[in-house]
Structure 1
Amino acid sequence: MFSFFKRKTKSEPTQPMEAQTDSTVELAPIEAMEFPAPQAHAEPLAPEPAPVAPEPIAEQAPIAIAAEPSAPEAEPASLKKMSWTERLKAGLSKTRDKLGKSLAGLFGGGKIDEDLYEELETVLLTADMGVDATNHLLGDVRERVSLKGLKDSAELKGALKESLSDLISPLEQGLDVNGKKPFVIMMAGVNGAGKTTSIGKLAKYYQSQGKSVLLAAGDTFRAAAREQLMAWGERNNVTVIAQQGGDSAAVCYDAIQAAIARGIDIVLADTAGRLPTQLHLMEEIRKVKRVIQKALPEAPHEIILVLDANIGQNAINQVKAFDDALGLTGLILSKLDGTAKGGVIAAIAKQRPVPLRFVGVGESIDDLRPFKTKDYIDALFD
């Protein structure tokens, strides 16, 4: 016969459960997001690990995490000595080498004939300028050759540079952030385009102009995106508005309210990366825009799409889709230094001429500058 008994155990103290908060209203105290000025001895951040589901964290404690691989490292001494024009030329070296080597044979002398135009067409297409822009440039160059009575192929280079300049110069429109306070810039783009990195660089750019900046960590979808933007905020000594959960629209709304209360000049609002073919996600980003307008009726004052220069002609599809959904007012073309497809600017100018506000040609925090037509063409050909 067996006897059954319960083993006496020591009871564990019961911890009270934290009350769950409404993610659309609850905001981590702003003071918790303010960062001290970066220390000179701070070590560079390590590359970001593969995205994983984030561990539960304390709401008020900002997390300094590794930035994505494209975050700026310590600037090499060689780059510090280079002007922006020299940096742009170095950044466009792959495109220039691809285009220049092909054009060198065309402009080396000889008569201008149909064979030459066919070769020029091939060169422009391989530089990723697209069919529409290529046909436009060929027609315009033919007209210039006829009007000026050009006979030698060596003279064709100048005609091509003039034609390309006329095509893309409408994209050169500087972004004026004065007159509105806060000036709200809504950032959009697909995953991996360099959106968060561009936000960090823009913050530094406007700080150098004496503007106060606030960042809204509105990418609440990608793992560690919030912490990554907070790392940029710490690096630039900029306040970051973030939530433990919630949606992008709520974060952007709270950020604008905080900016109004504090008299901030510029709000840079991050949003979740998405493909233009994901219709439900495109509807979500429209919601973000509507909520921003509720926070500040005339906002967002600028809607910028960040494009990865490496994707070439796919950039046109992205511009069209996001423009149709949001009404783009500007573009940032990142990673020009890593591609031979810098000619895509001509394709954008021909098919959907949204102003190209900034171009990025490197990993340094200063390698994002306003787009200048002359600098771009000189770097491309010379």
Structure 2
Amino acid sequence: MLKNLFRRQKQKDSQPDTSTLDRQPSEEVSPSPSETSDFASTAEPSNKKKSWFQRLTTGLSKTRKNLVTQIQGLLRIGRQIDEELLEEIEEVLIQADVGVKATMTLMDNVRNVVEERMIDESADLEAVIKEQIELILGQDGQSVSVVRDSPHVILVLGVNGAGKTTTIGKLCHRFRSEGKSVLVAAADTFRAAAAEQLQIWCERSDTDLIRSDEGTDPASVVFDALHATQSRQVDVLIIDTAGRLHTKKPLMDELSKIGRVISREIPKAPHEVLLVVDGTAGQNAIIQANVFNEAVPVTGVAVTKLDGTAKGGVVIAIRQEIGVPIKLIGIGEQLDDLRDFVAQDFVSALFENDESSI
């Protein structure tokens, strides 16, 4: 049964959803005037009453139902721990977008722990699975923070529609709240609405934007932004880039050129290469991550839209298969709904009972 599942999964992974990879620019919609006026939505009053952990728990409810609840249903009291049970758990993990590689690593570790600790009650397996997921996600404690001498350069990658613009806007707000000066470079010059969307977000955080005409060489925009950053003694430069995976070769060349320009003008930069992936993309997020990682080595991943998907298991898959730390997660539209990723908090929220988050 498991072998057949792997074959189905392999076929699925080898045929990516082109609608996700080639998402049209219009799918990343700029905020409406009402949204930009006060950063608020109708859900904000209730969010203010909840802690970040409670909001994270609520945001992961669909993933919890798709992953944790299914596993808990298998671990009914009195069931014997045997290979059949472990294979059923593997099937749940794979179908919840944890991915084959991460699932095999996780369950191999679970089997070893069960044997070493001589666990025979299936009810005790949940704690072991939770523990091993946390180990895979790592306890790096890494975050997107300015720890180097100014200027600190952050290069942001991701497909159109993944949430790059929103993530950049929230990072601007974060750094500005910390008292740092920020400059944004609109280096996606092939998408008509890209600079306009960035302009709206920059205005919300009182951040300057370097932009040029549509069709301008993106590397030239980056060059101008680097010089402006140095002359103005700006603390943080955030560079937006294009995300046209359907034009893979030109995109790879473009990103490589941008990387060379950055490192030539500011040695050891970029200091952070942040890949933004859409949590609703599932296994396509792995494909996207591999493509971008080939062009410019990624140092961290931001996973967005986790509150609207049952495919949050992809967070585990990305960490295991790409080997890059998850640094940020997004669970909403508010400015403070993008937070540092903490493995222990994520796993605890994933396994938390919905009732306890209310």
Query: What range is the shorter-chain TM-score in?
Result: 0.7 to 0.9
The runs of at least 4 aligned residues of structure 1 exceeding 3 Å deviation read: none
- 1:365 aligns to what? 335
2:166 corresponds to 1:167: no
Spell out, residue by residue over 1:197-231, the C-alpha distance to the aligned partner (whole angstroms, 9 max, x if none): 11001111112222111111111111121111111
**Aligned pairs (5 A) from 1:148-297:** 148-169=117-138, 172-245=141-214, 246-275=216-245, 278-297=248-267
Greater helix proportion: 2
Whether 1:97 aligns to 2:61 is no
CA deviation digits over 1:287-333, x for unaligned, max 9? 11111223222211111111011111111122122112111111111
**SS state at 2:323 partner:** coil
Structure 2 distance, partners of 1:251, 1:177, is 23
2:98 aligned residue (129, 138, 142): 129
- 1:205-258 Cα offsets, whole Å, 9 max, x none, are 112222111111111111121111111111111111112342211111111211
Q: How far, CA to CA, are the matches of 2:99 and 2:132 in structure 1?
A: 15
Q: CA–CA distance in 1 between the matches of 2:130 and 2:141? A: 16
Residue 347 (structure 1) aligned with residue 313 (structure 2): no
Aligned residue number for residue 86 of structure 2: 117
Distance 1:357 1:174 in 2: 5
Cα RMSD for the two superposed structures: 1.9
- Indicate the residue corresponding to 1:74 in structure 2: 40
- Assess if the C-alpha contact under 8 Å between 2:157 and 2:240 holds in 1: yes
CA distance in 2, matches of 1:285, 1:300: 12
Other structure's SS at 2:238 match: strand
Find the structure with the greater CA-based Rg: 1
Aligned length: 319
Letter in 1 for 2:134: S
Residue type of the partner of 1:74? A
- Identity %, equivalent residues: 47
Quote how far apart the aligned CAs of 1:181 are.
Answer: 0.6
The 10-residue stretch of structure 1 (128-137 or 206-215) with the greater mean CA deviation from structure 2: 206-215
Structure-2 residue corresponding to 1:32? none
The yes-or-no answer on 1:147 pairing with 2:113 is: no
Compared with structure 1, are the counterparts of its residues 332 and 309 closer, same or farther at alpha carbon in structure 2 (3 Å cutoff)?
A: same
Question: Is 2:283 the partner of 1:313?
Answer: yes
CA distance 1:278–1:171, change in 2 (3 Å): farther
Within 5 Å, give how 1:330-341 maps onto structure 2. Answer: 330-341=300-311
State the alpha-carbon separation in 1 of the partners of residues 117 and 263 from structure 2: 52
The one of 108, 129, 154 aligned to 2:76: 108
Distance 1:89 1:131 in 2: 25
Go from structure 1 to structure 2 and tell me whether the alpha carbon gap of 1:360 and 1:180 turns closer, same or farther (over 3 Å shift): same
SS in 1 for 2:138: helix
Find the aligned partners of 2:149 and 2:294 in 1 and give their Cα distance: 25
User: Which residue does the alignment assign to 1:54?
Assistant: none
1:322-362: CA deviation from partner (whole Å, max 9, x where unpaired): 11211111111111111111111211222111121111111
Q: Which amino acid aligns with 1:80?
A: K
1: distance between equivalents of 2:343 and 2:57? 13
Three-state SS of the structure 2 residue aligned to 1:278 is: helix
Q: Equivalents in 2 of 1:368, 1:331: separation in Å?
A: 12
Q: Partners in 1 of 2:66 and 2:231 — Cα distance?
A: 52
Return the match for 1:84 from 38, 44, 52: 52
Instruction: Provide structure 1 residue ranges, at least 5 long, that are not aligned to the other structure.
Output: 1-49, 52-64
| C-alpha contact (below 8 Å) 2:301/2:328 kept by paired residues | yes
Indicate how the Cα distance of structure 1 residues 160 and 210 shifts in structure 2: closer, same or farther if over 3 A, else same.
same
CA distance in structure 1 between the partners assigned to 2:65 and 2:140 by the alignment: 24
Distance 1:276 1:322, change over 3 A: farther
Alignment check: 8 A CA contact 1:200 1:229 kept = yes
SS at 1:154 equivalent? helix
Cα deviation for residue 161 of structure 1 reads 0.8
Shift of 1:68: 7.3
For 1:296, give the aligned amino acid.
I
